[in-house]
Amino acid sequence: MTENKKAVMQEEKKQVDFVYVIGDAYVDHPSFGCAIITQVLRSRGYTVAIIEQPDWKNDNSICVYGEPRLGFLVSAGNMDSMVNHYTVAKKHRSTDAYTPGGRMGLRPDRAVTVYSNLIRRTYKHTPIILGGIEASLRRMAHYDYWADEIKRSVLMDSGANLISYGMGEHSIVEIADALNSGIAVEDITFIPGTVYKAKSTDQADRPIVLPDFETIKKDKKSFARSFLLQYENTDPITGRPLVESYGTQGYVIANPPAKPLTQEEMDDVYALPYTRKGADIPAMEEIKFSLTSNRGCFGGCNFCALTYHQGRTVQVRSHASLLAEAETFTSDPAFKGYIHDVGGPTADFRIPSCQKQLTKGVCKNRQCLVPSPCKNLEVSHKDYLELLRRLRSLPKVKKVFVRSGIRFDYVMEDKDQTFLKELVEHHVSGQLRVAPEHVSDRVLSAMGKPPHRVYEKFLQSYNQLNQKMGLKQFAVPYFMSSHPGCTLKDAIQLAEYVRDLGFTPEQVQDFYPTPSTLSTCMYYTGLDPRTMEPVYVPKNPHEKAMQRALLQYKNPKHYDLVREALIKEGRQDLIGFDRKCLIRPRKGEHVEAKAPVRTRKKKTIRNVHKKK
């Protein structure tokens, strides 16, 4: 039994204000959204009882604390339940990092919908508020990869009353205060960062009317247009209410996002009295001694849902807040002197991309870093560098690592390379993980990533610094296969690059079409919603398998797939005994080489990888 359950059961005769139903095992730690929302509500005087991973096949499992005074809160947990359960090949995963012992199967598919319906069967009129990443990214009609169809807003299928989307600290307090003041949940239509159902659109101020659900379900161009309107209205300053019609069932209306937290508010959230205890789950291993220093990301990766969930405005904690949390690590007997990470969505973003966005909002039709950095981009690592210096000077701290990822294109825009120098010298644990994702500039453009030459420039600087310092540290690149825009020819180009680097990636990410990303919209529609131009989409499972196999062409089990891909693209020149060949021919086989169509190839900068 968790500390939270014990605390509530001591007052079991009192009706709690909220019952929070979650798909994860509960851990009272600020790395977990459910813990933050719980502590924020408790700091405002509300009582919150936790029901973790209830048995969704048993109606009584959500009756542990009776009917709450104000309402039920429902979250699938820190991950979308479908991503938690299934690989990109739609095969069941074997472990769940948010369940004790990594045990799989203790939450349902589409958890927020199942939990909410479970509650509604018993409590017909009690307010239900959905939150967390699953509800946030499914707040409007969306493409569902697992069912391969357009699904309605989760609000329509769950029986819930409201969605608190995004990070939620502001909106959940406003919802609680409104319910506590006696306002009926049906009348709570005015809170930023919320989605509600309505019979009319009268209460929405200057709304943008999206194509109705039946239209986008039938017409992919309409879906693409709808997604673009949503994508352009994810800023709290410029965003307007979005209205989606469901015919006779009424409307789903999304208010503009809640305002980002100020630094003072961020500090207050992370200073709440988290016990840092709870269920023993695998996910705790890496984050127990890590620091969340920022939120939001202006990186603009099209396959990432952060724009839709956290927004593009960077929010940061103060040095004092982070140092105070780090000092609590040093008193933990399990702390060995290593802070595992200091970061967030992108570790080295500690300032807004420009001052304009603070008063006028982020640009709707322009990204900050791609396809090339905006002329108004402010680039500085001074604050982050000073933070890292102060952390590594703390008593009992041996090393401070940066593992949550840096934007190498942002680093290259910094005229002062002190940060990169100190990163190499002090903050790399043997390997620096970076995410170039691909080498084809056409594919990189579809991904929202910088041209390949920028990564080559970064790699050159990184390797030179390591050599100068006499360090044997390696850049470990993440690559993605089968992203929209990526042909088999592009996949072979990437395989040749991997060959020239002299290593085989241990992990390859096949593009995963998760809800509400621009790349997922491309995947479903075959269109870039920004231009409505066609985009090639590798959907055939066999082609996807070939693209993935090419990146690990040295693995014998991939031989047949690699061979088939090379022959299909007329690249038999890569089958042979030459050092440039990816695979050898079968015994006794003669493969007639066709002259490949080549473009002038730039010199590849060789990385200092260990040979596998």
Is residue 208 a contact partner of residue 284, using CB atoms and an 8 Å limit? no
Give the pairing type, strands 128-131 and 162-164: parallel
- Residue 275 amino acid letter: T
Taking the chain, what is the end-to-end CA distance rounded to the nearest angstrom?
A: 46
Indicate the class that CATH gives domain 3-192: alpha beta
- Within 32-187, residue ranges assigned H as helices are 33-43, 81-85, 111-122, 132-137, 154-158, 169-180
Q: Identify the DSSP state of 490.
A: H
Q: Do domains 3-192 and 289-401 have the same CATH topology?
A: no
| 430-612 has CATH 3.40.640.10 classification | no
Q: Is 469 exposed, middle or buried (0-12, 13-18, 19+ CB in 10 A)?
A: exposed
Give the pairing type, strands 128-131 and 142-144: unpaired
Number of residues written out for the chain:
612
Block mean pLDDT (10 aa), the chain, length 612: 51 82 96 96 98 96 97 97 96 96 96 98 97 97 97 97 96 98 97 97 95 97 97 94 97 96 97 94 92 93 89 95 96 94 93 90 90 94 97 96 92 95 94 93 96 96 95 92 97 95 83 96 97 96 96 94 96 94 84 52 47 38
The per-residue pLDDT for 594 is 52
Angstrom distance (rounded) from CA 334 to CA 413: 39
CB contact set of 106 (below 8 Å; sequence gap of 6+)? 25, 53, 96, 99
The per-residue pLDDT for 40 is 98
Is residue 267 a contact partner of residue 317, using CB atoms and an 8 Å limit? yes
- Residue 441 amino acid letter: D
Cα dist from 384 to 249, 278, 349, 403, 411, whole Å: 50, 31, 8, 14, 12
| 289-401 has CATH 3.30.750 classification | yes
Whole-prediction pTM: 0.91
Sketch the domain layout of the chain as residue ranges.
Answer: 3-192, 289-401, 430-612
The per-residue pLDDT for 605 is 46
Of residues 499, 427, 498, the one with CA closest to residue 466:
427
Long-range contacts of 6-9 (CB under 8 A, 24+ apart): 8/47, 8/49, 8/50, 8/65
